[in-house]
Structure 1
Amino acid sequence: MHPSHEIQPRREPATSFEGLNPEASVGRVCEGLAISKDLYHYLMESYFNNMTTFTLFKPYKIEEKLSRMQSATEAEALVAAIFAFAARFHSFFNTPSRPTECPPHSHFACIASKRLNEALEQLDDAVAPLWLLQAYILLTFYQLTQSVRSKSWRHLGVCIRLAYELDLHRVDFPSNQQADTDNYSIDTEHWSILEEKRRAWWAIWEMDVLASAIRRLPMAINWSYNFTFLPVSDNCWFSDSPQKSCYLAVDPILRWKHLQESGNLSPKAWYIVINSFVYNCQLLLSDYKLNTDSTTNMADVTILANCLYCTTNSLPSDLTYHGQALDFLTRRSPQDISCRQFHNDIYCIHIMTQLVQFMIYHHQIVAEAPWMAEFDANNLKSGNENKISNHPLWSNYMKAAEDVITMVRNSSGEHYKYVNPFMINTLWIAAAAQIACRIFGPLSFNKQLAESNYELLCLNMDRSIIFWCGMDILKRRLTRVEALLKGLAARQGNDRSPIDLAGFMTSGMMAPHQEAPVTDPSNVSDSLTDPSMNSNVLSLMPLLDGSIEPHVSIDYMDFFAGIEQFFPYDTYDS
């Protein structure tokens, strides 16, 4: 028993807005959005051909959804949110059926935002329907691709609250399940409706992990109260074929086991399990200063490394990347599961795996920081560079970067249009590692190869930034990192005093709300008199993001442990 302010108002049931059938509903939406029916059908097809990050709807079933809506405002909100994604592709594909004129994606995003606000205002205290939440998910996704700052952060919060109101966090709560414990002989229509809800919930969960990790803030979703099964494969859902699934276990050791035992082969489910380790890594890095027992901390890191190993080695065979070319072609017919979607699944699972690897190796290098001091400039000059480059942590860290480069190189030149745009953050880390290798790597390291790898990654980052019209801060941060490290290399001297990272941060980078200059390498502090810092330390230098307060004295072990040093950009960057 607990006090509640809920009166649980219910909306009057309606089969359509103003009694319109599906075709008439489309006409009304086109009229409200001031577009032709030809453009409507073109953009709707473009959405289903190109949206690979989330599968929220069954292909070409939107019209049925429109006919069940309460008002034109709700219908226009959903369609505008869909077209905010689809309109990006209009100018990139000159097909005979393509309408000549199409408003920009920002136009549809603006309409979606206005209509959503109007629809929520009309609802007053009533619970929003699922399709309104789906529109909010797509709009939030659109805004997160621009930046993970206040606007998109607030919209994500609204998404989560709306999902909680719809009980999407407990779609499969034990008391809600049907008596059939095998979850097979259930009503297929009812199961399909629940699966649509699961997909909306996990799309929000995925965005919450990303945004919270970048902003170094707690997730809004409570993992301990998450009773919604992981999504099944698109093929099962599209064909209304119920498939067993499972919860995402709170204990990372159990996640891959439960998923494997359920028989669920869904690429999205396996991706979610791997993605979940990102947040576990973030928690470990965030709690580093609070944890006085480094042995316990490293034990947790090792457990996560083991969990990642078990997960990637338990993947369905067709989701494991074996170095094959990924062309990201579209489906041959509307009934086919898109090859583009399949290749995106392989790509994102592999790239997300490398992100978790980066985070794990980062933590391990911090834990073993004392051995870094053994490799100073004198060791390099005495011919011990092989001892550095062959150290397991250095090799593992760079192997993750090489795996990212291999995946990008073997993918279609236009793959950036079809993969989850958030994967660009992992490309950034791999590119930053190449900068460090090129400037400070051991003598045996091929600097020309590092430069070539860097150019390959930057080319793909540039194209992704242009296409998605966001996250351009990443390239500016790479430029800043390179200028600062070149500044260190330029200040050659005989003094071999201890590294003063606080001095580096104070003079070479600005406070969190400022943009550091990148044109004058002489800004680097005189206190940094050891430009030949060992390659293990410098493999992490590109990850510095300027979040440390000026004039604070810290030792390098604590400095590298902070999660704020890991991510490619700071939320305060402009």
Structure 2
Amino acid sequence: MSALLAAISAFALKGLDHEEVSNTIGGNFSSGVLEPPSIYFRRLSIKYMEEAISELDDEPLSLHVLQAMILNTYCLLVQGVKGRAWRYLGTCIRAAYELNLHLIDADKHSQNDEPCLDASQWCIDEEWRRAWWAIWEMDVYASVVRRCPTGIDWSQNITFLPAEDEDWYRGRPTTSCVLEVNVNSRWMKLVATKSTSAKAWFLLMNSLMKDAQRISSPIGIDRDQIADHTKLRDSNAVRHRHHENQRLPQNQEHDAAARRLSTILNALYCAVSALPKNLKYRGGHLGFGGFDTQDSTFVPRRLADCTTYSIYLMTQLTKLMIQKYHVFRAIGTKWTLGHDQEALAGVRYDSVTTTGGLPTPAPEQRQFQHLSEYFEAADNVVSILRSCSDDQYKHVNPFLASTTWLAGAVQLLHRSYLADDDPDRDLITSNFELISQNYRQTLEFWNMSRIPLSNWKALDAGLADFKTNNQVRGRIHYDPPCIFTAGVRICHHPSTSRDLEYGRYSRTGARSSQVDSSFQDVTSSVAPIGSMAPHGHDPTTTNGPLQPSTVLPTPESADQGFNNDLMHSATSMDVLPGNTPNFMEEMPFSDDWDGLADFSTSLDDLFSGSYMP
């Protein structure tokens, strides 16, 4: 219980300093405590949790210990889906399976059975359900960022979606349903229960997004662990092997993917149409409760705005994942800025007639339509941000910052698509500025890494240079210098001088003046946020058999500086410990015009999630 209380306190005290906490509790909190209160309680929670896990030995975790683990994992995933935080999530999943949380409602004969008559037992089961779905949500988020399979098997998930909060608080059993594997049945089953649960509807949208990402971005950045430690840098080769394994011709593979994505898009529109009225975003202002905390409606209004915002952003992310396939991966679709923009600018929606007499848009028209819907989804993110209160980032799920980042990247892509004298360029630039400001505020408040800011700058610089020199088939590629084998990390540092490391665009002859002014502070001295604790110092270490230094992630502190020395330019091969907490941040985002991946494929990788925070 101590671990859970400390984890709750860490979130409750987020953003408060020692004096504010002391005033709240009516005592001197800062006695002997130097770090921020939230960091202090996070460390306490991890310490107590490890002690509890050690005492349980081979016994399953109690609910309180599991809940503490969920909160700690959530915090650490916000600060980076990497290293020990990533493995920590795996521990949550295994612990949940050990407790059979995926089978809580396996004894129900159908999803539409009458709710349990024993209100007390229903409330107990509901608390376990919510623990399971919290792990499920973290699993989906982390797998999207890492572009890898989820740890939870959706085909063996017989646990009902969460009920409405108010029903749970008041002990009123209500009908719910499982998350169906079939996307059509999924939304229809939830509609049949007449559920108004905000969390249930958010999880439905989240699942559609993950299904779309599985199709549009099935394989992550490749790091073959082969004997000679060479790297496979051609992502086309990876996809070719994937197609061969499916034993389908490429055109059939494309047609199958397009059909599945269309099915998901249909399900998404049906789900949005069926949303309870109180969960739909209708373009109004989201004040997140305002500032009068004494108002009796303060908490309900804040929660309502948070759920509306979350569902709307997840809807837009699903659209981005669906349309990305058509923009970057569909057969014949290549991102050639200089050539295609003039051709597509004159496209009209005049249909051609097939032999069956049915109007069918030409390929160029279809491509233009997918591009328009892709850009529209990013613009929708701008619209809702513009309608939110200026402290919105403090109240919403920080996982959604990845959607904000992706929308900003799409804005940069959209701007590069336009001619230099296009009147819409200023609007798109201002859209990006709005997203950038909100995203930077989110990074600072939640102590997240600033690496994604550098990826924005790298993308903008690469697009500007490619647009200027489009007669040269330029490429941007992600150069992962690390291969993992036998517990050792082999790092290959790129020898090219044309790197974009931490936003430094150094390509010879590059037109650096074209890089947007939004990025000028990325490489300058910034407030130290989002770093891991110094190596060799782990205040959570205990004398028990389980050591946090090897199992648990060390919480990040806003007082610790980011290690800029990680991104060095040595040309030799270094052998470093494989569990270095910052290994994901050592991978430079490079602009290599001699790379093996074509430009369209490289952009496909970028917009698939691997560069999201």
Alignment TM class, shorter chain as reference: 0.7 to 0.9
Query: Who is 2:546 aligned against?
Result: none
Deviation string 1:10-33 (CA, Å, 9 cap, x unpaired) is xxxxxxxxxxxxxxxxxxxxxxxx
> Is there any run of 5+ residues in structure 1 with no aligned partner, and where?
1-74, 527-543
Deviation at 1:384, TM superposition (A): 3.8
Deviation at 1:412, TM superposition (A): 0.8
Query: Who is 1:257 aligned against?
Result: 188
1:301 aligns with 2:261: yes
Q: Distance in 2 between matches of 1:178 and 1:371?
A: 48
Deviation string 1:394-449 (CA, Å, 9 cap, x unpaired) is 21111111110111110110010000001111111111122233344245451111
Question: What is the TM-score with the length of structure 1 in the denominator?
Answer: 0.74
Query: Who is 1:76 aligned against?
Result: 2
Deviation at 1:296, TM superposition (A): 1.0
| 2:332 aligned to which of 340, 347, 370 | 370
Residue 263 of structure 2 aligns to a residue in which SS? helix
Query: Who is 1:165 aligned against?
Result: 98
| 2:444 aligned to which of 463, 466, 477 | 466
Deviation at 1:376, TM superposition (A): 4.5
| 2:500 aligned to which of 506, 511, 516 | 516
1:353 aligns with 2:315: yes
Query: Who is 1:270 aligned against?
Result: 201
One-letter amino acid matched to 1:553: L
Residue 391 of structure 1 aligns to a residue in which SS? helix
Deviation at 1:452, TM superposition (A): 1.1
Deviation at 1:364, TM superposition (A): 1.6
Query: Who is 1:566 aligned against?
Result: 608
Q: Distance in 1 between matches of 2:95 and 2:141?
A: 19
Q: Distance in 2 between matches of 1:92 and 1:384?
A: 61
Deviation at 1:136, TM superposition (A): 0.4
Higher strand share: 2
- Within a 5 Å distance, the mapping from 1:34-183 to structure 2 comes to 75-91=1-17, 97=24, 99=26, 101=29, 103-174=36-107, 177=108, 182-183=113-114
Q: Distance in 1 between matches of 2:111 and 2:471?
A: 71
Q: 1:559 to 1:522 in 2, by over 3 A?
A: closer
Deviation at 1:207, TM superposition (A): 0.1
1:329 aligns with 2:313: no
Deviation at 1:159, TM superposition (A): 1.0
1:553 aligns with 2:513: no
Q: 1:359 to 1:201 in 2, by over 3 A?
A: same
Q: Distance in 2 between matches of 1:247 and 1:379?
A: 46
Structure of higher RCO (CA pairs closer than 8 Å, 6+ residues apart): 2
8 Å Cα contact 1:87-1:104 kept in structure 2:
yes
| 1:243 aligned to which of 153, 157, 174 | 174
| 1:191 aligned to which of 92, 107, 122 | 122
Q: 1:329 to 1:93 in 2, by over 3 A?
A: farther
Residue 247 of structure 1 aligns to a residue in which SS? coil
| 1:450 aligned to which of 408, 428, 438 | 428
Q: 1:435 to 1:551 in 2, by over 3 A?
A: closer
Q: 1:524 to 1:355 in 2, by over 3 A?
A: farther
| 1:391 aligned to which of 360, 368, 375 | 368
Q: Distance in 1 between matches of 2:159 and 2:145?
A: 25
Residue 13 of structure 2 aligns to a residue in which SS? helix
Q: Distance in 2 between matches of 1:346 and 1:169?
A: 27
8 Å Cα contact 1:545-1:565 kept in structure 2:
no
Deviation at 1:368, TM superposition (A): 4.3
Higher helix share: 1
One-letter amino acid matched to 1:457: I
Q: 1:371 to 1:138 in 2, by over 3 A?
A: closer
Deviation at 1:87, TM superposition (A): 1.7
| 1:338 aligned to which of 282, 300, 314 | 300
Q: 1:341 to 1:316 in 2, by over 3 A?
A: same
Q: Distance in 2 between matches of 1:440 and 1:180?
A: 48
Deviation at 1:215, TM superposition (A): 1.0
Query: Who is 2:411 aligned against?
Result: 434
Deviation string 1:354-410 (CA, Å, 9 cap, x unpaired) is 111111110122354526589754973997488999921221111111110111110
One-letter amino acid matched to 2:163: V
Q: Identity, % of aligned pairs?
A: 31
8 Å Cα contact 2:507-2:591 kept in structure 1:
no
Query: Who is 2:215 aligned against?
Result: 284
1:496 aligns with 2:451: no
Residue 141 of structure 1 aligns to a residue in which SS? helix
One-letter amino acid matched to 1:151: R
One-letter amino acid matched to 2:4: L
Query: Who is 1:478 aligned against?
Result: 456
Q: 1:386 to 1:401 in 2, by over 3 A?
A: farther
Residue 79 of structure 1 aligns to a residue in which SS? helix
Query: Who is 1:24 aligned against?
Result: none
Q: 1:461 to 1:315 in 2, by over 3 A?
A: same
Deviation string 1:144-192 (CA, Å, 9 cap, x unpaired) is 1110001111111111111112211111012xx4999733351101100
8 Å Cα contact 1:512-1:546 kept in structure 2:
no
Deviates more, 1:327-336 or 1:230-239: 327-336
8 Å Cα contact 1:84-1:142 kept in structure 2:
no
8 Å Cα contact 1:434-1:451 kept in structure 2:
yes
Q: Distance in 2 between matches of 1:523 and 1:323?
A: 46
Q: Distance in 2 between matches of 1:405 and 1:524?
A: 34
Q: Distance in 1 between matches of 2:345 and 2:188?
A: 47
Residue 260 of structure 1 aligns to a residue in which SS? helix
Residue 380 of structure 1 aligns to a residue in which SS? helix
Residue 61 of structure 2 aligns to a residue in which SS? coil
Residues paired across the two proteins, number: 469
Q: 1:269 to 1:510 in 2, by over 3 A?
A: same
Deviation at 1:272, TM superposition (A): 0.2
Q: Distance in 1 between matches of 2:387 and 2:38?
A: 29
CA RMSD between the two structures: 3.5
Query: Who is 1:233 aligned against?
Result: 164
| 1:413 aligned to which of 380, 390, 399 | 390
Q: 1:553 to 1:374 in 2, by over 3 A?
A: closer
Q: Distance in 2 between matches of 1:366 and 1:328?
A: 37
Q: 1:411 to 1:545 in 2, by over 3 A?
A: farther
Deviation string 1:437-479 (CA, Å, 9 cap, x unpaired) is 3344245451111121111111111111110011322212112
